Amino acid sequence: MNLLVLGGTVFLGRHLVETAISRGHQVTLFNRGRSNPRLFPDAERVAGERDGGLEPLRGRRWDVAVDTSGFVPRVVRQSVELLSGSVDGYTFISTGSVYPLLSADKSEEGPVVRLEDPSSEDVGRDYGGLKALCEEVVTDVYGPKALVVRSGLIVGPHDPTGRFTYWVTRMPRGGEVLAPGAPDREVQFIDARDQVDWILDMAEAARGGTYNVTGPARPLTLAELLGRCGDAPLTWVGDDFLEQERVGPYMEMPLWVPASAGELHMPIDRALAAGLRHRDLDATIRDTRAWAENAPEPVAVDAGGRVRRPSQLAPDRERELLRRWHDRIG
């Protein structure tokens, strides 16, 4: 298979390229050319811009394109239309954020976020709604040959966001750990390696459709996850207190969203029926921890291109919150 990858190689793209090459596929990387040139010596590199700089791709042919960096419908339309006659299938990496947080139906047929201003290009503010519009652009052009991957939280080695890695590294440090919300609240995430395995399986089989792609296959509570990460003592702190103290959901306190804001859980029956499989959670924890212990301090870039620190509750902030919580409950 001849694969075109549109986007960066920091995390998901990195695993995608590594796995595709290991399967014997030819890979062409199209991006700004700023990634480490020593990575993927077996991949072809083509430099260009998503917005107005696609000419280097004209006249070429690939079996499948995988779009890992489409955020603005106008920009996505440029690549979709230019490639419509030269790529058989188009895989678009979308997000579960297309579903309204307060919606009870997050199945693939459920309602998605609709923007009051569809011409918006403010990715930081309108991320979910813009992704939903990008999906429509892809499916309008590619129809049944479009594979739309509505990702949950993607985790594992090389993850720059810290949203899962925080717990993998925090629990072994020991001491009293601030655990957010309710211990029985379910959490979802998927190892990037499992996601790319499934994406490539679907591409190799020339299958399209829209799928929620996250994990695990069975329900997992936050308490169980933290227990698998380590055995430090947990202090469960209520949503109302965390909101009162202006703790930032997900961005400051990883994996936490207050119940008042809705929930992120997506059903994945359709993807499981299409062959999605998950490695053992302990393997993801072990591999992520091993990477984090030897990695340079990561810097995350959000969907709007802004550089920010990885999601984490700073130690001093955690200690202060725990002190105030204990004072509150006596």
Mean pLDDT across the stretch 185-189?
96
In terms of pTM, does the model score above 0.85?
A: yes
Helical (H) or strand (E) element with 237: strand 234-237
Rounded to an integer, what distance in angstroms lies between the CA atom of residue 137 and that of residue 181? 38
Mean pLDDT across the stretch 119-147?
97
Percent with pLDDT over 90 in the chain: 86
**Can you say whether the dihedral through the CA atoms of 212, 215, 221, 226 is positive or negative?**
negative
Rounded to an integer, what distance in angstroms lies between the CA atom of residue 91 and that of residue 145? 8
Q: Which two tokens stand for residue 195?
A: 């996601």
Crossing angle of helices 281-294/222-229, nearest 10°?
50
Domain boundaries, the chain: 2-151, 156-187+219-263+280-329
> What pLDDT is recorded for position 251?
87
**Which fold, 2-151?**
Rossmann fold (3.40.50)
Mean pLDDT across the stretch 20-36?
90
> What pLDDT is recorded for position 35?
67
pLDDT tops 90 at residue 298? no
Helix, coil or strand: residue 301 = strand
pLDDT tops 80 at residue 302? no
Rounded to an integer, what distance in angstroms lies between the CA atom of residue 66 and that of residue 25? 13
Q: Which two tokens stand for residue 198?
A: 């499934």
Percent with pLDDT over 70 in the chain: 95
CA 224 centroid distance within chain: 22
Do the beta carbons of residue 305 and residue 156 sit within 8 Å?
A: no
Mean pLDDT across the stretch 117-138?
97
